[in-house]
Amino acid sequence: MIFERYNDGHGSLYQTHWKDSLGDHYAVWVPTSSAYEIVLLQDLNAIGSKFIYDNNYFTIENINGVKRPVPCDTIEMINGKRTPVPLIKHISAVATLVPYK
């Protein structure tokens, strides 16, 4: 688990964790709102990333025994044309992360 601390001292506890070839992934979500995923790369000198998935653009799936958010591959009609919807609302450098025990 990790805790993302905001400037005002509040924050979010990321309890969902899995590993893959990129590194460590941590996630938290609100079913009727958004999902948040932090990826800390195996290269400890690299900057991690935070992904924010808007409501209705992610599903919760059980992959290898871990329930986690997965972005949807969604197409919507805009001005009569099929247009890919951005799966990720925002990517940013990770804020202050604190190991949580």
pLDDT at 72 over 80: no
Instruction: Please check whether residue 13 is in contact with residue 99, taking contact to mean a CB–CB distance below 8 angstroms.
Output: no
The model's pLDDT over 1-32, given as tens digits with 9 standing for 90+, comes to 888 887 888 888 899 999 988 889 999 998 88
Higher pLDDT, 78 or 35: 35
Print burial letters for 8-19: b (CB count within 10 Å at least 16), e (below 16).
eeebeebebeee
Q: Classify the C-alpha dihedral 11-87-46-24 as positive or negative.
A: positive
Query: How far is 20 from 56, CA to CA, in rounded Å?
Result: 25
User: Whole-model pTM above 0.85?
Assistant: no
Given this model, what pLDDT does residue 56 score? 73
93-99-101 Cα angle (round to 5): 155
Instruction: Please check whether residue 35 is in contact with residue 58, taking contact to mean a CB–CB distance below 8 angstroms.
Output: yes
